[in-house]
Amino acid sequence: MSYLDAHPDIVKWASEEFCIPYRSPVDNRIHRYFPDMWAKKNNGEVFLIEVKPLIQVEPPKKEGKSKKKYLNEVLTYGVNQAKWKMAEEYCADRGWKFIVLTEKELNIKW
Summarize pLDDT for 7-65 with one digit per residue, the tens: 999 999 999 998 999 999 999 999 999 999 999 999 999 999 999 998 899 999 998 88
* Domain of residue 14, residue span: 2-101
Task: Pick the range with the lowest mean pLDDT from 18-22, 79-83, 91-95, 103-107.
Answer: 103-107
Look at 64 and 89; give whichever has higher pLDDT.
89
CA distance 28 to 31: 9
Amino acid making up residue 11: V
Per-residue pLDDT at 82:
98
Q: How many domains does the structure of the chain reveal?
A: 1
Look at 27 and 107; give whichever has higher pLDDT.
27
CA distance 59 to 32: 23
Establish if 108 belongs to a structural domain.
no
Establish if 106 belongs to a structural domain.
no
Q: What is the pTM of this model?
A: 0.87
Establish if 35 belongs to a structural domain.
yes
Per-residue pLDDT at 109:
74
Cα dihedral sign, 87-90-93-99: negative
Strand partners for 49: 37, 99
Establish if 46 belongs to a structural domain.
yes
Predicted confidence (pLDDT) per residue in 78-88, tens digit: 999 999 999 99
Q: How many Cα atoms sit within 13 Å of 22 on the Cβ side?
A: 23
